[in-house]
Amino acid sequence: MFRHLHRLESITIHNPTHEVFAKYFTSRAPLLKRMALCERAEREPHDLAFPFSGSLPFLEELQIREWRDIEWKEVQFGQLRVVDIGFCGSLDISLILHLIQENQHLEILRLDSILFTSSTSFTQSNTPVVLSHLKALTLSKLAFANPSKVHSHHPTLHILRHIRFPSCTKFAIHTSIESEPTVDHTDLRSVLPSPLDILAHPSLNNPQTSQTRRGYLTAAFSDHGLSITVDEEPGCEFEYEVRLNNTPRSITRRWLKSALEDRPGVTLQRFKLHVFIEEYSHMDDIVAFQGSKAVTRLSVGISAEHLREEVERRLLQILATPCSSASGTTVMVFPGLLEVEFEGWDGRGGAVLEMIRNRFGTPGVEALRPDVITINYTYWSQDVQWDSLDDIRELIGFKAIHFGAIDRWPSWPARSGSPESWWPPSDEGQDDNWGVVSEDGWNWD
């Protein structure tokens, strides 16, 4: 095979010794289109030259995984469509920026778990590179080895400032910006696409049926940061995921609120909002979106015991508060709300029923009336009075109210503070022991 390297179009090189690499992979391979470099674990005092003398004019796909100490100088690409680099260290970020500059037909760019170095050539271009063909972009867990020596502490933000691209079918950003003092919500808006961009992507349109598939947004606020995902309906392939760890909630909240501003031809129809409250000011995350008709599901978790009663009372008050809509009519806050989940609550059912009575029974106030009102608790105290249930049953416009205990919430923050433990609550793990009050009366299933 080695005698025919000059004819190869695809190759994978896995953990070669320095001797093997120098003997077989330094000659030219002018026809090579796809190359993967995997798991070079050998600890040697010197770097490896880039395979095939770095002259790969027709290379279209490059994948590098766990490959250490590679010399990128004088590497020549020009036809790359796919770049996938992960779990590498000592990689100069200016080389990545140069690679992007020289390959503006990129369709897939994935950079994951890379410890970058910076050189004297690390500069911010005044003119961003336009990647008009980009279909998928992933920038995850990128960091500088010596962030104090560069003017931008976060390579993710620097790369995003360096490029411009259309709405991608797959977009994922995982980063932490706690040490970037200059970042604010307007800066995030300038580099991060809005979730509405993916919802407006042409891939969601079906030209044969003239129907538009719908995606729904999930946003979770916690002290670890903000997690945003756009999930898809069956048969649709796209992705939007942003995780901003250790970022002030005031910044992420203002960015998301501005990113979701209405724009012509794009309407957010389903929005699941999760808020984990560890201090009273975190209620601002709820208030900021209370006017959105798109919020169909609200999940609220409380970790601070001394705030529990005050936060519970305030939230129930908010949910039964009228406000003016854009059209001038009087509506309840969260006018499209279908489901509420309370995590870490004591289960004061009587207060919840009072909220339901006020939300759906206030004359002259519009509120969406779902067929079934669902209230999920972590702990259900069953302190519901029968006469309260009779009053609720008389409200028209819904068939049943479901009260139930959330059996497990694996997605809220763990006490250990693990950054991977705070993702939005899922639909799984709800207790089957539901209390139901319906047109036929009260019963326990």
216-242 confidence digits (pLDDT tens): 889 999 888 899 998 765 555 678 899
User: Token pair of 218, please?
Assistant: 């999930």
Range picked from 50-59, 103-112, 294-303, 330-339 for highest mean pLDDT = 103-112
Beta-strand ranges (E) seen in 118-238 are: 129-130, 136-144, 163-164, 170-176, 205-206, 211-212, 216-222, 225-231
Check residue 169 and give its pLDDT: 73
275-302 confidence digits (pLDDT tens): 999 889 999 999 999 988 889 889 898 8
Strands 239-245 and 225-231: antiparallel
Q: How far apart are CA 105 and CA 132, in angstroms?
A: 7
User: Which residues are CB-contacts of 357 (< 8 A; sequence separation ≥ 6)?
Assistant: 388, 391, 392, 395
| pTM confidence score | 0.81
Of 28-32, 241-245, 437-441, give the lowest mean pLDDT range: 437-441
Buried/exposed code over 6-37 (b: 16+ C-beta within 10 A; e: otherwise): eebeebebeebeeeebeeebeeebeebbebbb
Res. 423: pLDDT tops 60: no
Helices 308-319 & 349-361 angle (0-180, nearest 10)? 20
Mean pLDDT of all residues in 314-332: 88
135-158 confidence digits (pLDDT tens): 999 999 998 887 666 556 688 988
Res. 324: pLDDT tops 90: no
User: Which residues are CB-contacts of 43 (< 8 A; sequence separation ≥ 6)?
Assistant: none
